[in-house]
């Protein structure tokens, strides 16, 4: 009996173990069934999404065989039959034809998407078409492709245009330099400097006359300045009295408004200076006439022949008063250009053959120097002599600035002529008979028409305060064709100009002899580096030889006169009008475009025109 009970208990526990095992198997089967059902559903809609967007990407419009698509072709809504369905939907989206895009998607997917599935089409996350289902979503899949050449509100085909100026009415600023020059006259009628020049311009916009003078008598109002017969009234910014060799003398710097007096064509500028009994009057570095004007031009000309005329200097003798005249001229020699010849023509009148020359002076009435080299020393055969001589300086000059100095019955600050002394120059009426330097380069004349640029001249004042050393950073963003430093000083002794372009620090100029610092120093473009800041360092060893803020950098540079292809427009006229407007806006601060070229193209089937945009198919259950 006891044994039988024990056996029944063992059977009972076996039955419970079996039931637990069966329960585990049933749950496992249920979970497995649910897992495989969900995976099958997700796999199916994922494949469907991939197939659908792939079909759209490769199926051409002309192969759809769909009545709705054919109706869009027939009424001209669809114009490119080689578009894929995806490209055509992208085109409708870009053109805001959303209704057409929706209808096309609806028609082409009819019967392909099971009724139990939701379906949608997006471009750049903007819903184009949605077909929803009721109930909660248990599975979602998405498939994407890029479509290039499409962007919202941008035409997918049309016209683009660019424009560039061929000729223009340019705004130019040019400095007409007065050389460092002077004369000694013991009172009396003083001295007159006359500059004559032709200005090729259609209109004068502005003009300023900068004056830097050394004079003797105390009343500065005795100095006279005229342009085309009109008296100027300078505003004297600096006016100082100085003692030189026991004599009281004066230096002055000022600016006069000359806008109403400079004219297109011929111009005559007259400067009348007075000196005291034993000290001359002369021009310091800084006397220049800055003129802003308009000129019609189409290209930069770097001429083979350049002629630089001296100013006419007339020292008027009165009674037994002494006179003399002198002038320097910088000869600018371009770096790297083959030099053919440099000719100096000297024409002087009323030159005296004086034997009683101060003992500290070389005993010659006519002295000519190039830098520190003697070119000629001679005495005229008789008094009141006219000097007419030609010198070949070709082998004497070097690249950069060379200072030619001419002394007539004087040397530096000493003068001894018995009558009038005239350094003659009249480039308008007597160009061949005037005093000049002619620089002729070898090779061909450079007349360069550069595509899409205009050559424009600029003048940038250095500013700041007067100092014996001035540093000016020139930010160069254009191709420099020519460059000059326009000095303004109350006096000059031993001036140096360096240009640091970030790669090398170059000595451009150093004063070669007394009173031979020019107003205008040539800086070859090879020393100026584009795309960086170039540091101009101007310094004078003399403590009173200040470099003034009115000193300037003058340069000629190429500026862009071209605009590239712009936006896509529906018509060619719209594209060209846009290009011309952009051109005028681009060069408006420099010039007024007169003649221009337009280039327009029709664009279509350009994958990189816009975008890319992202097309996306989403399917859910």
Report domain extents, the chain.
Answer: 2-157+611-620, 304-444
**Strands of 216-246, DSSP E:** 224-227, 230-231, 235-244
**Of the candidate ranges 16-25, 241-250, 313-322, 482-491, the one whose mean pLDDT is the lowest:** 16-25
Per-residue pLDDT of 282-298, as tens digits, reads 999 999 999 999 998 76
Q: Which of 477, 471, 449, 459 is nearest to 555 (CA)?
A: 459
Average predicted confidence (pLDDT) for the chain: 85
Q: Is 76 left (phi over 0), alpha (psi -120 to 50) or beta?
A: left
**Of the candidate ranges 361-375, 470-484, 512-526, 562-576, the one whose mean pLDDT is the lowest:** 562-576
Q: Which of 389, 386, 385, 395 is nearest to 377 (CA)?
A: 389
What is the full DSSP assignment across 318-344? -TT--EEEEEEEEEEE-TTSPEEEEEE
Neighbours of 206 (CB within 10 A): 14
Q: Alpha-carbon distance 615 to 128, whole Å?
A: 10
Give the residue with greater pLDDT, 387 vs 621.
387
Percentage above 90 pLDDT, the chain:
52
Q: Check if the beta carbon of residue 550 is closer than 8 Å to that of residue 463.
A: no
- Residue 611: the pLDDT is 59
- Residue 284: the pLDDT is 93
Could you confirm whether domain 304-444 is CATH 2.60.120? yes
Label residue 336 exposed, middle or buried (CB < 10 Å: 0-12, 13-18, 19+).
Answer: exposed
Three-class DSSP category at 262: coil
Enter the DSSP assignment of 617: E
pLDDT band, very low/low/confident/very high, at 527 (cuts 50, 70, 90): very high
Name the packing angle between helices 67-74 and 98-108 (round to 10°): 150
Three-class DSSP category at 174: strand
Nearest-10 Cα torsion for 8, 11, 16, 18? -170
- At residue 61, φ and ψ (nearest 5 deg) are -55, -40
**Strands of 427-585, DSSP E:** 436-441, 446-448, 453-461, 469-476, 479-486, 495-500, 505-510, 520-522, 532-540, 552-560, 562-563
Contacts of 451 (CB under 8 A, 6+ apart): 164, 562
* CA dist list (Å): 148 to 49, 98, 361, 475: 20, 19, 86, 41
Asked whether the predicted pLDDT for residue 38 surpasses 50, the reply is no
Per-residue pLDDT of 104-114, as tens digits, reads 999 998 888 88
Q: Alpha-carbon distance 91 to 579, whole Å?
A: 25
The residue with tokens 């028409």 is 449
Q: Alpha-carbon distance 177 to 488, whole Å?
A: 11
Q: Alpha-carbon distance 166 to 305, whole Å?
A: 25
- Residue 29: the pLDDT is 35
Give the residue with greater pLDDT, 30 vs 74.
74
- 0.85 surpassed by pTM: no
Q: Check if the beta carbon of residue 382 is closer than 8 Å to that of residue 353.
A: yes
Asked whether the predicted pLDDT for residue 224 surpasses 90, the reply is yes
Per-residue pLDDT of 446-460, as tens digits, reads 555 567 788 889 999
Neighbours of 278 (CB within 10 A): 17
Per-residue pLDDT of 321-370, as tens digits, reads 788 999 999 999 999 889 999 999 999 999 999 998 988 889 999 999 99
Q: Alpha-carbon distance 525 to 476, whole Å?
A: 11
Asked whether the predicted pLDDT for residue 444 surpasses 90, the reply is no
The residue with tokens 């250095």 is 462
- Residue 413: the pLDDT is 80
């Amino acid at each position: 009996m006891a044994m039988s009970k024990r056996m029944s208990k063992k059977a009972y526990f076996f039955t419970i173990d079996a039931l637990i095992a069966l329960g585990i198997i049933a749950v496992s089967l249920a979970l497995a069934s649910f897992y495989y059902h969900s995976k099958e559903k997700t796999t199916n809609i994922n494949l469907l999404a991939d197939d659908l967007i792939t079909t759209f990407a490769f199926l051409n419009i002309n192969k759809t065989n769909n009545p709705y698509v054919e109706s869009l072709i027939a009424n001209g809504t669809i114009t490119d039959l080689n578009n894929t369905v995806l490209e055509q939907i992208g085109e409708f989206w870009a053109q805001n034809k959303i209704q057409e895009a929706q209808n096309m998607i609806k028609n082409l997917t009819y019967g392909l998407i099971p009724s139990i599935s939701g379906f949608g089409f997006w471009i750049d996350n903007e819903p184009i078409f949605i077909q929803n289902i009721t109930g909660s979503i248990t599975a979602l899949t998405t498939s994407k492709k890029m479509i290039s050449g499409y962007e919202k509100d941008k035409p997918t085909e049309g016209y683009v245009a660019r424009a560039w100026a061929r000729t223009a009415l340019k705004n130019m600023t040019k400095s007409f330099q007065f050389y460092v020059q002077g004369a000694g006259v013991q009172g009396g009628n003083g001295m007159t400097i006359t500059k004559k020049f032709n200005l090729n311009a259609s209109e004068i916009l502005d003009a300023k006359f900068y004056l830097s003078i050394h004079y003797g008598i105390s009343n500065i109002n005795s100095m006279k300045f005229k342009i085309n017969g009109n008296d100027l009234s300078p505003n004297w910014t600096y006016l100082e009295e100085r003692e030189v060799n026991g004599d009281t003398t004066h230096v002055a710097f000022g600016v006069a408004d000359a806008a109403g007096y400079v004219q297109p064509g011929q111009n005559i500028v007259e400067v009348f200076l007075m000196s005291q009994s034993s000290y001359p009057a002369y021009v310091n570095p800084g006397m220049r006439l800055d003129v802003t004007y308009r000129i019609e031009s189409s290209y930069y000309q770097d001429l083979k022949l350049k002629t630089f005329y001296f100013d006419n200097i007339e020292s008027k003798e009165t009674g037994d008063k002494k006179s003399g005249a002198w002038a320097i001229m910088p000869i600018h020699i371009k770096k790297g250009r083959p030099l053919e010849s440099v000719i100096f023509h000297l024409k002087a009148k009323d030159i005296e053959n004086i034997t009683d020359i101060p003992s500290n002076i070389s005993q010659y009435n006519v002295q000519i120097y190039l830098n520190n080299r003697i070119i000629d020393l001679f005495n005229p055969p008789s008094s009141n002599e006219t000097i007419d001589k030609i010198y070949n300086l070709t082998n004497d000059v070097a690249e950069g600035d060379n200072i030619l100095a001419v002394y007539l019955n004087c040397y530096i600050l000493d003068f001894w002529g018995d009558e009038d002394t005239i350094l003659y120059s009249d480039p308008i009426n007597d160009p061949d008979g005037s005093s000049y330097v002619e620089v002729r380069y070898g090779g061909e004349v450079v007349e360069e028409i550069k595509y899409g640029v205009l050559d424009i001249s600029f003048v940038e004042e250095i500013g700041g305060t007067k100092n014996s050393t001035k540093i000016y950073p020139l930010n160069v963003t254009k191709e420099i064709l020519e460059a000059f430093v326009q000095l303004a000083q109350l006096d000059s002794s031993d001036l140096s100009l360096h240009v640091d372009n970030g790669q090398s620090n170059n000595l451009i100029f150093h004063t070669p002899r007394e009173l031979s610092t020019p107003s205008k120093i040539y800086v070859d473009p090879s020393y100026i580096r584009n795309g960086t800041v170039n540091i101009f360092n101007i310094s004078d060893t003399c403590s009173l030889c200040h470099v003034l803020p009115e000193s300037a950098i003058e340069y000629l540079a190429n500026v862009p006169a071209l605009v590239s292809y712009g936006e896509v427009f529906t018509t060619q006229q719209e594209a060209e009008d846009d290009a011309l407007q952009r051109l005028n806006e681009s060069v408006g601060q420099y010039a007024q475009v007169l003649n221009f070229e337009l280039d327009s193209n029709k664009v279509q089937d350009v994958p990189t025109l816009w975008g890319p945009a992202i097309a996306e198919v989403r399917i859910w259950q």
